[in-house]
Structure 1
Amino acid sequence: MRAVLCGYYGKGNGGDEALLASLLQMLPASVTPLVLSGNPAETQSRYGVAACDRMSPQAVLRALHQSDLFIWGGGSLIQDATSLVSPLYYAGLMGLAQAMGLRTIAWAQGIGPLKHPLTRWVARQAFRSCAAVSVRDSGSADLVTHWHLPFLQAPDPVWALQAIPSPDLELLPAPRIAVSLRPHPLLTPNLIEAIAQALGHLQADTGASILLIPFQPVQDRAIAEAIQPALSGPSQILEISHPQQLKGIFQSVDMAISMRYHGLIMAAAEGCRCWAISYDPKVDALMSELNLPGWHLRALPPSPQALAQQWLQHYQSGSPLSASQRQSLTAQALTHRALLQKVIAP
């Protein structure tokens, strides 16, 4: 059986690559995947699977003609917060696959926000024709419930991604604090400077090495490069393209400060203290579900001293998720695998 895997793959985003790795890890052995990718050669080399250009109509049509299944592979594919293009692209592919007779699965979806009536209608039509739907958060569950569609809810599949210890930390002394920031209109140069100074204070108080981790280097690296000069102690900008190694970094980290949704999940899953900086409803939801401390960007204290003081307090007295919590979330995330097995090989 051949399945087309569709997501934001091959675009250099560590979170979406982790979703692809999780999906490949959970697919039944009877399925041969073909990935729609922004970088087919890299995807083929990294995962040992077939891939084609996600923006080539000829390649996509050929892939669909050769396949039995079409799987939306996790993440915030159906949202119109940035533009209408993304939800219409993904829903259009889903509709095409359904029209061509493929069985379709919406897997581990984080749906919304959907502000435009057109995208809400298109999304509902795409989901209602799926053989199975799974979602990763309560907000998505509420939306699918409102649509009167059957679904499964379970934590993000990256909770269950098998981590590989990273050798890249050997030269950076412990303790270690990881920082993952991403561009956002509210993250102004002045605020980046305040964060940089706060991290400098935190480093001086803890003696920690600072790991600056760009989850999507083409977007995030410039922020890391702006912060690093403010750090007088050991620091490193660490780009890891393999998602299992990226998750493995957090096995050797004492505290993570992250805007990136999957940065928080990876860190929490590996027993690391977490501090969230939210820019999006999905991060708000994760903070609520896990009771993570943090701020929304709109409420970030502008004073470096205030930032550093709260981070230091969490570093000294905060707690990571317990082993039983992590095991429970991982076990629940594997429900996404059970869904695939049920639908593909009933």
Structure 2
Amino acid sequence: MVRAVLCGYYGLGNAGDEALLATLLQMLPSSVEPLVLSANPTQTQNLHRVAACDRWNPATVLQALQASQVFIWGGGSLMQDVSSAASPVYYGGLMGLARALGLKTIAWAQGVGPLQRSWTRWLTHQALKTCSEISVRDGRSAHLLQSWNLKCTLAPDPVWALDSLPVGDLWQLPAPRVAVALRPHPQLTAKRLESLSKALVDFQKATETCLLLLPFQPEADEPIAQTIQSQLPGPSVILKPNSPAQLKGVFRGVEMTLAMRFHGLIMAAAEGCRCFALSYDPKVSALMTELGLPGWELADLPSDSSEITRVWLEHYANGDPLSSDQIQSQRDRALMHQDVLIRALAT
């Protein structure tokens, strides 16, 4: 049995990152015993049924690494310096320590960057060049690694391949249903949120839909969901499923999804739901381009809420989800991340 330390943005209440961990655990060979570095080990143990330890406790982390043979960066935009320059230091430092202790290192399903500082670019390059295998989830990351002469596997985000579970209570809610997944961001100004809220009110009046408000990171997103819900004239619910698999399963029973959240769009598209994107980040914009999703950059959001409503109604009436062939293609290609794990762990 091989013991592997899994490191990512785990135990911090972000459903997208928990979905990445769930997919990584789903893809790991049965010969691997995982140990997750988590900000909330008890929660991680209960949610994923896996051993976990405190990511903030240096002694515990060192002990975990010393007792393991493999170290895996477990997906997402870990090496970026836009939200915080501390992120590359933490993750890059752990990668360096793992290599110094003789562990095999794997960078799995990474979104590398943006890296605005020269020293974070250097640190990222140093961390990645020692990896046995690297997989990335977007072309921009692959291009950056190619400029560093580093080989990598490019495949869609692994959450495309996450097995979903049905949410029984969902069918008790009125149909048709539309999901909304917004998050706080400097570009989501009070004025823009007001426009979106008014557009949702008018959209609901016109369609008589039940709105499912999905806070992917409840601590951050739920206040926005509550603000919107307080204004809605029709049925709505703030929904917080118990697991990433159930969260993905929510979109089986949804006609359309309006989302800022990257993994909200992926989960919805993967379950055959029509999607409309509101982009705050290059990764969301790239996903819109790749899949041909309609949407706006937040900076370009119409100031007239009636125009927002008009476009949403048009997509609700006439828009199409991805075809079954497109969904299967994304899922099949996402499984290339599993091939990376199998290949790295077999040598």
TM-score class, shorter: over 0.9
Give how far 1:45 is off: 1.3
1:171 CA drift (Å): 2.7
Deviation at 1:303, TM superposition (A): 1.3
Misfit runs of 4+, over 2 Å:
none
Report SS of the residue matched to 1:104.
Answer: strand
Q: Which residue of 1 aligns with 2:114?
A: 113
Q: Deviations over 1:242-283 (max 9, x none)?
A: 100000000000000000000000000000000000000110
Deviation for aligned residue 1:205: 1.1
Structure 2 equivalent of residue 338 of structure 1: 339
Note if 1:230 corresponds to 2:231.
Answer: yes
Residues paired across the two proteins, number = 346
Q: Which whole-Å CA distance do the structure 2 matches of 1:160 and 1:198 have between them?
A: 33
The answer to whether the Cα contact below 8 Å between 2:3 and 2:35 also exists between their aligned partners in 1 is yes
Equivalence for 1:155: 156
Aligned to 1:250: 251
The AA in structure 1 aligned to 2:338 is R
SS at match of 2:233: coil
Deviation of residue 307 (structure 1)?
0.6
Deviations 1:290-333 (A, max 9, x none): 11110011000111111100000000000000000000100000
How does 1:180-199 map onto structure 2 within 5 Å?
Answer: 180-199=181-200
- Give the distance between the partners of 2:44 and 2:80, measured in 1 at CA: 25
Q: Which runs of 5+ in 1 are unaligned?
A: none
Instruction: Output the TM-score relative to the length of structure 2.
Output: 0.99
**What residue identity is the alignment partner of 2:152?**
F
Question: Would the aligned equivalents of 1:141 and 1:153 in 2 still touch at CA under 8 Å?
Answer: yes
2:16 paired with 1:33: no
Residues 222-255 of structure 1: per-residue CA shift (max 9 Å, x gap)? 0001101221111001112410000000000000
Report the residue type matching 2:141 in the other structure. S
Q: Distance in 2 between matches of 1:245 and 1:87?
A: 31
Is contact 1:19–1:75 with CA below 8 Å preserved after alignment?
Answer: yes
SS in 2 for 1:155: coil
The 8 Å contact of residues 278 and 298 in structure 2, kept in 1 or not, is answered as yes
Q: Assess if the C-alpha contact under 8 Å between 1:159 and 1:266 holds in 2.
A: yes
In the alignment, does 2:308 pair up with 1:315? no
Shift in Å at residue 47 of structure 1?
Answer: 1.4
Whole-angstrom distance in 2 between the partners of 1:241 and 1:183:
22
The SS at the match of 1:184 is coil
Superposition deviation, residue 125 in structure 1: 0.4
Shift of 1:170: 2.6
Alignment of 1:135-174 (within 5 A): 135-174=136-175
Q: Which residue of 2 aligns with 1:175?
A: 176
Displacement of 1:15 in angstroms is 0.2
Question: 1:46, 1:8 → 2: CA distance?
Answer: 15
Aligned counterparts of 1:240 and 1:9: Cα–Cα separation in 2: 17
Match of 1:62 in 2: 63
**Contact between 2:179 and 2:256, CA under 8 Å: does it hold in 1?**
yes
Task: Give the C-alpha shift of residue 83 in structure 1.
Answer: 1.8
Task: Please list every run of 5 or more consecutive structure 2 residues that lacks an aligned counterpart in the other structure.
Answer: none
Alpha-carbon displacement from aligned partner over 1:53-111 (angstroms, at most 9, x marks no partner): 01110110010000000000000101001221011110010010011100000000001
Q: In structure 1, how many angstroms separate the alpha carbons of the residues matched to 2:249 and 2:100? A: 41
Secondary structure of 2:172's aligned partner: coil
Q: Does the CA-based 8 Å contact 1:77-1:109 persist in structure 2?
A: yes
Q: In structure 2, what is the Cα distance between the partners aligned to 1:88 and 1:236? A: 39
- Kindly report which structure 2 residues correspond to 1:252-267, keeping only aligned pairs within 5 A, or say none: 252-267=253-268
